Structure 1
Amino acid sequence: MSKYARWCISTLMALVLLAGVAPAQAVAGEQRYYLSLGDSLAFGFQRAKAEAGLPPAAFTTGYSDLLAARLGHGRRALSLVNYGCPGESTTTYISGACPWQAAGLPLHDTYAGPQQDAADAFLRANRGRVDVVTLSLWGNDANAFVASCNGNVQCIIEGAPAAIAAVAANLSNTLTSIRRAAPDADVVVLGGYDANLGAFPLTHPIIRQLNLAMADVAAANRARFADPFPIFNPDGDTGATLCALTLICSQGDGHPSDAGYRALADLLHQQLTAR
């Protein structure tokens, strides 16, 4: 049973035991946190908003904000700290710098240096008070790998195993770091979906293998794995679901639509409340 699920149950039991008894005064507890880490998905990115020059406060339909609204410790909501960086890869997460900040663009919550260092510093400064950590890192690694092949299918097929192994190695480094700083937090890694409409026969198997590798790394570090692939790319679907859950068909943007971000928030919440 996850830490978050245990809190839900203990809170419910307390409410039952105290039914009909009005407390004399509310007890103010210390602030507790949900830390969202990773790339543009953690940020809640949608290209049209970015092209319109909107500030981070306009990017509030992402899974981080939606999930934060559903999380709490007892009766108190968790405070969201969102370090999500559009353009972040598993490599830049570790070594920096955040591509979005390097381009002079603002984040939800600003930090200096690599995101991994910022996450470690926050977790250590708030040790025992960060209840939930989510992590999304894979898409920019995949994009860079495909671009390196210049559309050569054989290059993609032959190079995929090494590219997946590199992502898994970096992810292992990252989760080990998170676990050292926050041994008791509930950690959920968000996997990948396939937005390569029209290339599914080639790309589906690669994304599935990537998700298997990330799931193994998550399990080795006592983290849960949330797999969006069956939701965004259900068996036999040639793209209708992907078009509904991303902006790929309407705007040429593979990031989730509002409906897609809601689906990701639901998936992450299911992992946090699963026994």
Structure 2
Amino acid sequence: MRTAPPTRRPARVLLTAALCALTLGAAATPAAADSAASARNHPAEYYLALGDSLAAGYQSLPGGGHVVGRGYAQDLARTLEGRAHAAGRPFSFTDLGCPGETSGSMADGGCRYPHSWSGSQLTNAVSYLKAHRKDRVVVTLDIGANDVDGCASGGSLDLPCALNGIATVRRNLDRILGELRAAAGPHTRIVGMNLYDPFLAAWLTGDQGKALATLSVPLAGALNGVIEQVDAAHRVPTADVAGAFDTGAFLPMVPLGGQLVPLNVARVMQWTNMARGDIHANDAGYQVIADAFLAEL
């Protein structure tokens, strides 16, 4: 007999109600095709990756340290380059992703990780798009995880922190997409991305961890709901990374490391580096993300 994951029912009811109220702030509208037929029939010659550490391709290494430039953007660039070359077209890839970037620092500047550009990532992206208004460009964007990353730690969820972070993402993402849209030419396709839930890994740490993992799913759902709503308002499709990671699937139970765990927990442990405390995707997970973007391209 399958049993539901343990929950702290009053806490989850409160969390769900608060997050639902937040995500009802804007009604989702269908994401209109962004010159879709033309873009799909004529491969892109330029690819611009925007966002945080996932866009930058950040991964920790087993023996310590980390690498940047080994992520979904690089996987996606290889596919787009192959399509362009098969059609006899040139191809150029630019990655402005900055590890640690929040929606606010992306808009206003201040990413703390060393990077090659000055000013804000958004300003540089707008300049890039204006310079390529007549070209066929693909833009991918992931942002928002760092706005709520500190809201689930120490075995508990900070609800006010989560609500504030999600509201901040709504406000800043609306600005970011508005400016990108205004700068983009008629042959530019912009694709956003929702997020997987690394806090599901807490399930493996005992009863308190199972409660945190369970509560983290409505948090992820609320953040993703806001991302999808804002994307849709700007006619930007959203790559369904959360769906690819089965984020909401506590059933079925599947084998992992000699025990049975929920499917969503297994996905996070298999496709990220959470086994060593790193929330970033591993090579397999980054390919899953790339495939989710490709489904929209």
Once residues 157 and 52 of structure 1 are traced to their aligned partners in structure 2, the CA distance between those partners, rounded to angstroms, is 32
CA distance in 2, matches of 1:268, 1:131: 14
Structure 1 residue aligned with 2:128 = 122
Of residues 224, 247, 254, the one that matches 1:211 is 224
Unaligned runs of 5+ in 1: 12-30, 102-106
1:231 Cα offset (Å): 2.0
CA–CA separation in structure 1 for the residues paired with 2:288 and 2:146: 21
Residues 47/216 of structure 1: CA separation in 2 closer, same or farther (3 Å cut): same
The one-character-per-residue Cα deviations of 1:29-61 (angstroms, maximum 9, x if unpaired) are: xx931100010000110022895465x5xx33x
Report the CA distance shift for 1:52/1:227 in structure 2 as closer, same or farther (over 3 A): same
Matched, 1:68 2:108: no
C-alpha distance in 1 between matches for 2:45 and 2:41? 18
Q: Mapping of 1:214-233 within 5 angstroms?
A: 214-232=227-245, 233=247
Residue 239 of structure 1 aligns with which residue?
265
Once the two structures are TM-superposed, the CA of residue 6 in structure 1 deviates from its matched residue by 3.2
Q: What is the aligned counterpart of 2:284 among 253, 259, 267? A: 259
Aligned ranges 1:88-167 → 2 under 5 Å: 88-101=101-114, 107=115, 110-146=116-152, 153=157, 156-167=158-169
Distance 1:50 1:133 in 2: 34
Normalising by the residue count of structure 1, what TM-score does the alignment of the two structures yield?
Answer: 0.78
Q: Quick check: 69-78 or 207-216, which moved more?
A: 69-78
Q: Matches of 2:42 and 2:193 in 1, distance apart?
A: 27
| Contact preservation (8 Å) 1:211, 1:227 | no
Q: What 5-or-longer segments of structure 2 have no aligned partner? A: 1-32, 203-211, 251-262
Cα separation, partners in 2 of 1:77 and 1:146, compared to 1, 3 Å: farther
Letter in 2 for 1:91: G
Q: Which moved more, 1:158-167 or 1:80-89?
A: 158-167
Give the Cα–Cα distance (whole angstroms) in 2 for the partners of residues 10 and 114 of structure 1. 31
What does residue 18 of structure 1 align with?
Answer: none
Alpha carbons 1:192, 1:211 under 8 Å: kept:
yes
Conservation of the 8 A alpha-carbon contact between 2:192 and 2:236: yes
Cα RMSD (Å) of the superposition?
Answer: 2.4
Give the share of equivalent positions with the same residue, in percent: 32
Q: Pick from 192, 195, 199 the counterpart of residue 192 of structure 1.
A: 195
SS of the aligned residue for 1:165 comes to helix
Q: Go from structure 1 to structure 2 and tell me whether the alpha carbon gap of 1:174 and 1:130 turns closer, same or farther (over 3 Å shift).
A: farther
Report the count of equivalent residues: 237
Helix, strand or coil at the partner of 2:49? strand
